[in-house]
């Protein structure tokens, strides 16, 4: 392995940094920090009505007379406490802290501390950190083998160490650690048990090009990121330049990993992808995670569809990404009936704060890769100018303070604003936008922060009303528990599937925006200005590529907990237990259409819920022949079907569009604008024993949906019962899509088996 490069900051940047520091010192005569102060409740002065009044009086008494009469007087009190503790937290200088310590009733004070959260945090967001549930039932995915089809791996990253792994690899494993350029067989271990590379296709397509890294070593970072998300080991102190700091671990931290490199700097072709998946199946993997897809190809020409059929036959779960072409409908790839298709959602985490001179603190968004001193600078705002849309205008005020840019709704414009700010080398900038910065454009090259349109009026009011408004920007801060989350990412591709619209895709949504995971040290992970580029062993990336390995990891956990389940059963458990609600218990929102709730064409059944998937109550299973019956109904020729099945042992005796799938989608004619559709479904009782379930329906607008029978009574575990769904529908608004759900609710039990329903005009396909 080559040594890490040393990145030297050029002299202009060093001078620029010193300039920030000097201005920060000049702008703040005394540095302030947040302190937590404990007070003696028994000494509460009865002259005050509430303890809050007492604490405010204590803080006010610490301020100098000059500051008390200044327009820049800040609201120092952060919180008052009266239950868990008695006292307050406040922004105090060292002099003010000393004065507080001399106050009546003072007990103790100490600086506020940044909590260490467990990163990538997504496992916590998915409630996998509970004292019981899927993690523990699966022993963290122990000995399940996940094959990742991607751009390779950086094996030296700590996420791939084998500390804590059992020293006996499962006997079914037939793979190898393939030697290649800068990649020795000894690099593999009990975590990364296999690594292979496939580039014959790309070499054939580009015969004059030389492969720059002819091995399974990652030169893009994509494969390292996705594989560590699936099953990375525990790594303490991981962060992205101080953001999201904590203990990194994959969704299935005790699962084994095997990398199949098929993505190259020189290209990526279907033949290599097929070869990689083919080898993964032969090697004996349990789950395949593939964060890529092919657009505009029928199932019988799609290498992922073809290879995943073979995987499904052997009980291998294939988890795939929906694509990043949203929010338009019909942009999804991997809409393959026999695999899992995953959409991308946001998580409840953000970074950085804007602090106004009056003490108001606003949580915003920044990933500026340094702890810059942007403190108590003048806040500059002029509504009558468009300074942020011009490098020339910005340069004129570059050293005067923090620029407050006008609100923009066009996502392209905010990207331009950020670019202009970078080029102008500003001391600081505040952007206003509700457009999600969920992709790599959201990484900050300048000491800047984005605040929401909701928070903007108070900032603008302060900037316009004060004679000398000031502000500070705090970097390398991480906040979790942000509401509302998740929302479906605007970039996430939407159904219906062009390859086969008759199955509702995507299946589920998983965390995909701003995910922290392992990265490679030889690729730029961040930049400052236009000429400083920085590496990192961990990177924050966004995309359905990041969502897919979350679902792959959960599938690995389920495989460990239920080794007898088929790939269809695991997919069913994930779909019927997914949640359509965010952390405010409201329907999940759509960031592609800010005023709307997300439809199943964007999120499938909803956000993946691993612990509930462990015990789904009922499952919708399917056999390979069931999928062949669907191909027959599509009137695929015998040869076309054979390209997928590889065997003539299947027959077309019972062609049927009615696949036993855990969701429903029906299309009405654009001409008649009405119609009906009947579905037949069979569910298997995987609960503890006898159980009774009753149907509850939320009707799609314009439709009448009936279920027969409405009650399913199971006598024993693994019993199968069938029911029919009839949808009579009409176009309730011109070309509108409507959706609802069918939920089977267990009598006296906690099981709720939910299936999303979509009714849509045929023209959207």
Write down the catalytic residue from 222, 225, 443, 550. Answer: 222
Catalytic residue status for 222: yes
* Residue 724 CA neighbour count, 13 Å, CB half: 6
Give the neighbor-by-neighbor strand order of the sheet with 349-356: 361-363, 349-356, 470-480, 374-380, 402-404, 428-432, 448-451
Closest CA to 306 of 341, 270, 330: 270
Parallel, antiparallel, or unpaired: how do β-strands 720-730 and 752-761 relate? unpaired
Q: Which of 239, 216, 118, 121 is nearest to 546 (CA)?
A: 121
Residues 6+ apart with CB under 8 A from 136: none
| Long-range CB pairs of 458-461, under 8 A, 24+ apart, other chains included | 458/360, 458/362, 459/354, 459/356, 459/360, 459/362, 459/404, 459/430, 459/432, 460/381, 460/383, 460/404
Strand (E) positions, 381-464?
A: 402-404, 428-432, 448-451
Tokens found for residue 577:
């237990």
Catalytic residue selected from 545, 566, 663, 738: 545
CA end-to-end distance (rounded Å), the chain: 49
C-alpha distance from residue 189 to each of 193, 256, 258, 648 (Å) = 5, 10, 10, 40
Give the separation between CA 571 and CA 567, rounded to whole angstroms.
Answer: 6
According to DSSP, the residues that pair with 526 across neighbouring strands are 534
H-only helix segments in 438-563: 456-465, 544-561
Q: Which of 74, 89, 138, 150 is catalytic?
A: 150
Exposed / middle / buried, residue 752 (Cβ in 10 Å: 0-12, 13-18, 19+): middle
150 is an active site residue = yes
Is the distance from CB of 619 to CB of 685 less than 8 angstroms?
no
Question: Do you find a cis peptide bond into 211, omega within 30 degrees of 0?
Answer: no
Contacts (Cβ under 8 Å, ≥6 apart) of 65:
none
Q: For 312, phi and psi rounded to 5 degrees?
A: -60, -40
CB 517 within 8 A of CB 538: yes
Q: How many CB atoms lie within 10 A of CB 333?
A: 26
Identify whether the C-beta of residue 453 lies closer than 8 Å to the C-beta of residue 407: yes
**CA neighbor of 240 nearest in space, from 444, 453, 31:** 444
The answer to whether 196 and 183 are in contact (CB under 8 A) is: no
**Nearest by Cα to 216 from 149, 171, 278:** 149
Q: Which residues are catalytic?
A: 150, 222, 545
């Amino acid at each position: 392995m080559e040594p890490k490069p040393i990145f030297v900051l050029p002299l202009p940047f060093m001078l620029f940094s010193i300039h920030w520091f000097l201005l920060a010192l000049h702008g703040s005569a005394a540095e302030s920090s947040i302190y937590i102060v404990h007070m003696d409740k028994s000494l509460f002065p009865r002259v005050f009505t509430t303890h809050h009044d007492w604490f405010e009086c204590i803080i006010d008494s610490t301020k100098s007379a000059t500051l008390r009469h200044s327009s820049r007087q800040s609201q120092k009190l952060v919180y008052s406490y009266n239950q868990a503790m008695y006292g307050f937290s406040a922004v105090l200088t060292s002099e003010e802290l000393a004065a507080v310590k001399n106050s009546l009733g003072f007990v103790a004070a100490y600086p506020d501390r940044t909590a260490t959260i467990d990163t990538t945090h997504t496992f916590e967001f998915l409630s996998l950190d509970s004292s019981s549930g899927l993690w523990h039932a699966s022993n963290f995915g122990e000995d399940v083998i996940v094959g990742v089809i991607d751009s390779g791996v950086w094996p030296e990253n700590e996420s791939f160490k084998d500390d804590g792994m059992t020293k006996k690899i499962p006997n079914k494993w037939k793979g190898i650690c393939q030697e290649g350029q800068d990649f020795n067989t000894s690099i593999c271990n009990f975590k990364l048990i296999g690594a292979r590379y496939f580039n014959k296709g790309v070499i054939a397509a580009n015969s004059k090009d030389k492969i720059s890294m002819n091995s399974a070593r990652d030169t893009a970072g994509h494969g390292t990121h996705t594989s560590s998300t699936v099953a990375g080991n525990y790594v303490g102190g991981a962060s992205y330049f101080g953001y999201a700091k904590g203990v990194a671990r994959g969704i299935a931290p005790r699962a084994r990993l095997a990398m199949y490199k098929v993505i190259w700097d020189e290209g990526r072709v279907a033949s290599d992808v097929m070869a990689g998946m083919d080898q993964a199946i032969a090697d004996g993997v349990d789950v395949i995670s593939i964060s890529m897809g092919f657009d505009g190809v029928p199932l019988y020409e799609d290498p992922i569809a073809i290879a995943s059929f073979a995987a499904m036959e052997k009980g291998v779960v294939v988890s795939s990404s929906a694509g990043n072409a949203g929010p338009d409908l019909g942009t999804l790839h991997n809409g393959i009936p026999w695999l899992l298709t995953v959409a991308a959602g946001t998580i409840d985490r953000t970074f950085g704060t804007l602090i106004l001179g009056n003490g108001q603190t606003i949580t915003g968004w920044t990933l500026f890769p340094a702890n810059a001193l942007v403190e108590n600078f003048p806040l500059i705002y002029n509504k009558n100018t468009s300074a942020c849309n011009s490098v020339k205008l910005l340069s004129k005020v570059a050293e005067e303070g923090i620029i407050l840019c006008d609100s923009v709704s066009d996502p392209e414009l905010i990207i331009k604003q950020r670019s202009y700010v970078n080029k102008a080398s500003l001391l600081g900038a505040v952007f206003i936008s509700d457009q999600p910065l969920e992709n790599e454009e959201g990484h900050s090259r300048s000491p800047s922060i984005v605040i929401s349109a909701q928070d903007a009026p108070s900032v603008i009011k302060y900037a316009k009303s004060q004679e000398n408004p000031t502000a500070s920007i705090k970097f390398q801060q991480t906040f979790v528990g942000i509401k509302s989350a998740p929302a479906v990412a605007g970039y996430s591709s939407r159904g219906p599937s062009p390859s086969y619209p008759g199955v509702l895709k995507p299946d589920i949504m998983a965390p995909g925006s701003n995910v922290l995971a392992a990265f490679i040290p030889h690729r730029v992970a961040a930049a400052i200005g236009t000429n400083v580029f920085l590496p990192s062993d961990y990177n924050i990336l966004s995309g359905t590529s990041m969502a897919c390995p979350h679902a792959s990891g959960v599938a690995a956990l389920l495989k460990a907990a239920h080794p007898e389940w088929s790939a269809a059963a695991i997919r069913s458990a994930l779909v019927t237990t997914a949640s359509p609600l965010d952390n405010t218990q409201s329907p999940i929102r759509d960031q592609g259409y800010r005023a709307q709730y997300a439809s199943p064409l964007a999120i499938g059944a909803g956000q993946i819920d691993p612990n509930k998937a462990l015990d789904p109550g009922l499952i919708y299973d399917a056999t390979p022949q069931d999928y062949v019956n669907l191909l027959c109904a599509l009137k695929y020729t015998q040869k076309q079907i054979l390209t997928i099945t590889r065997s003539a042992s299947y027959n077309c005796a019972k062609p049927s569009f009615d696949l036993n799938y855990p969701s429903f989608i029906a299309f009405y004619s654009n001409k008649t604008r009405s119609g009906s559709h009947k579905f037949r479904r069979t569910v298997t009782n995987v609960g503890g024993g006898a159980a009774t379930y009753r149907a509850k329906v939320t009707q799609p607008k314009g439709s009448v949906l009936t279920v027969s029978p409405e009650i399913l009574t199971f006598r024993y575990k693994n019993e199968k019962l069938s029911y029919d769904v009839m949808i009579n529908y009409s176009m309730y608004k011109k070309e509108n899509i409507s959706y609802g759900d069918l939920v089977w609710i267990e009598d006296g039990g906690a099981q709720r088996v939910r299936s999303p329903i979509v009714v849509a005009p045929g023209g959207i396909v």
